[in-house]
Structure 1
Amino acid sequence: MKQVLYFLLIFSASKTIAQTEVSAVKNNNPIFKGWYADPEGIIFDKTYWVYPTFSAPYEKQVFLDAFSSKDLVNWKKHHKILDTTAIKWAKKAIWAPSIIKNKNKYFLFFGANDIQSDNELGGIGVAVSSKPEGPYKDLLGKPLVDKFYNGAQPIDQFVFRDKDGQHYLIYGGWRHCNIAKLKDDFTGFVPFDDKTVFKEITPENYVEGPFMFIRNSKYYFMWSEGGWTGPDYCVAYAIADSPMGPFKRVGKILEQDDKIARGAGHHSIIKTPDSDKYYIVYHRRPLSETDSSSRETCIEEMFFDQDGFIKPVVLTNEGVKAHIIK
């Protein structure tokens, strides 16, 4: 009888260890279910947030969802934090949200309507809320940017806060990227010293999806190249001493892996405040999918070499381990 009990105890312990090992290699990419693209990741009050595009035909892109997590692994969905009932001028193609907290308010920048000329209503809008999960309401009642300045389609907006507290809007599709100084209340722009409002900072091979961050007093400017519907979509970057550049392309750091997924691009970066960990949040298309809207949001850890250059990102199904902000 003792031998039987001993065997059962050993079997039970072995089973528990096996289950633990299985859970340790759990696949965490994509980080949440559903077709979502163009994700912006950010931290508010020790909570990770991701604000993506709802990936669907343009006419169905009439709202934005958001996702929050305490550990980068378990995510909570916040339904329709913004939709076209709150933004009367937006009718379709609500894309690539970018968010920032300023003076205890949350400002959500977004593109809408996919305008193809200066004669159409649409462009980059701004919504505001007292909470990161919304609901958001229209700040201006009209687009913030509704024209093609320097050839840049008014989409793929990113709000960047510089070291001195100045906020910039960096945006642009159609292979052109602009930067503009935002007013303190985000209702418009402050001209540069030469009286211009929109300055072009387009680097080599730029297509869309700009993102910027500061590391060791250097400005890392990142963007997407290739076509978003194809396998050649990827992310490249440059480094400069100023948010104005000039930005000389260094090279690609994120692209497809034929064993994992295709069309990896349109990303953002999260830096943890309690460590030197950097994470890249991006979208990709599963190998089993051919529809252009079939994009999912994933995350990987991003590393630098001793000279400060970004190492190529390795696509995984495992994603990242849990990291609770202390």
Structure 2
Amino acid sequence: MSPKTRRVVVTQRFFDAATIAFLEANGCEVIVADLPPGQADGDLAPEALHGLLTGADGWIVGHARVTHDLLAALPDLKVISRRGVGYERIDLEAVRDLGRVACIAAGGNDASVADHAIAMMLALGRRFRESQANMLSGNWSILMGSDLYRKTVGIIGLGRIGRSLVQRLQGFEARILVHGAGRDPDYAAANNIAHVSLSELLAASDYVSLHAPLTPETRFLINAETLARMKPTAYLINTARGGLVDDQALLEALRNGTIAGAGLDTFMSESDPDYRPVSEALLALPNVVATPHAAASSREGLDRTNRVAAMNVVAVLDGETPPAACVVADGRA
């Protein structure tokens, strides 16, 4: 092995050949973990992660927990690069204290997640799931749906994905309400956006789409009280993070007709197995459209996030700094 070769371990599926070639061209030996079918790196015990990562200089990670103990046991590891944009499972204080760098793949999956949110809105409004189930049972009668065209869409969190959603909603001539950080008067005026309180957004929106990070302040932002403020004809879309929504409260609201339906790509049970029965009950409802945290997982979206994650790794291993939007913790002196 050349002395310039750096060892990069990938614990994600669907890591494309072009990105592997990019890493190799930049002096990296690439090891893609052979995970059992149906298993993600978030399912691996710390001991298993340690075995995979011993001697690694860079780690391209999915949903594994990056803890102080794990990092301390991996002295060669210089950079942790998420193929994704959430970082709540990374101990950022430990990254800084131990002199490492943690990055996200900012900008890689914005379009894919925004497309997914639109798809869920259309599927719910036009009652695709219910119609197909009826047809399979021999009932071909028409169910009356509703348009996305000229509806009011509330967006909670106006980051990169939220802005991609705004761009797509222009074609539907939607009225767009926004709640959350990142006010930009020029952007709001150019895109006909109104910044409103959470209560105003919930009361007025036909669709409420979540695009906020999961923090102590946003945990269970959507709960029994906030669901009760929504229209009974409204739909909730969560392509962001499990934990933004109290899934038990959502289940009760859907059963009781408090809201009309939900499009769910993320669930509390992803981080808390005790919620698995609640997730299964949500999946069984006819007015729920669900996917297994797959909003970012288009072929094109994964290729983009793979490349951004790999570019972050190379930058750090070369002693440089990745783009500011990608760096979430930098412990280098």
TM above 0.5, yes or no, is no
- Structure 1 length as normaliser, TM-score? 0.24
User: Of the two structures, which has the highest relative contact order with CA contacts closer than 8 Å and spacing of 6 or more?
Assistant: 2
Structure with the higher fraction of residues in strand conformation: 1
